[in-house]
Amino acid sequence: MSDLREKLIHLAHCPSVNWKQIFTLLQQNSSLQNLYEYSPSQLQKLLTLSIERANQIKKDLQTIPIRDILDKYDAENIQCVTILDDEYPELLRHIYDPPWVLFARGKISLLHAPESLSVVGTRNPTSYGTAALTHIVKPMLHEEFVVVSGLAL
């Protein structure tokens, strides 16, 4: 895995970092070469945020064990597909604020399936919601649509 990919995945695991901040870091240094060397005050200035938030980002980068997480993903056959990878879905790459990293299990080649369906909803649907979803989605499954899930549960 390239150093840039690993750093991008690490940033995606930092709850204190948002999409725009990752974008700003990449604009500043497209290889993220100095990511771990930034001081909180440098992060504060670069990302225009409070010193408390900058301290939290620095702490996240120092304490989130990305190497252990990646080893666990390997053991569980979870693949990380970054926006830098050829496997990243081309249409998704062009939406507003595309995810920096996708976490996938299964056939990555299906990310390029011509017919795919993603359903976004609540974790606790009503009985009507479940019935409506079944009515809408079930016929598409017979048409060989690939179902893309966020796997929230």
Query: pLDDT, tens digit, for every residue of 105-132?
Result: 888 888 888 887 777 777 788 999 889 8
Structural domains in the chain (count): 2
| Residue 153: inside a domain | no
Task: Verify that 100 and 37 share a domain, yes or no.
Answer: yes
Helix (H) or strand (E) segment spanning residue 1: none
Pairing of strands 146-148, 116-118: parallel
The verdict on 71 and 46 lying in the same domain is yes
User: Which of 80, 83, 102, 97 has its CA nearest to residue 20?
Assistant: 97
Per the prediction, the chain carries an average pLDDT of 89
- Domain of 132 in residue numbering reads as 113-148
- Give yes or no for residue 142 having a pLDDT over 80: no
pLDDT at 153: 52
Q: How many angstroms separate the CA atoms of 55 and 102, rounded?
A: 27
Assess contact for 97 and 118: CB atoms under 8 A: no
Q: Are residues 39 and 77 in the same domain?
A: yes
Residue 150 has pLDDT above 70, yes or no: no
What's the pTM value of the predicted model, to 2 decimals? 0.81
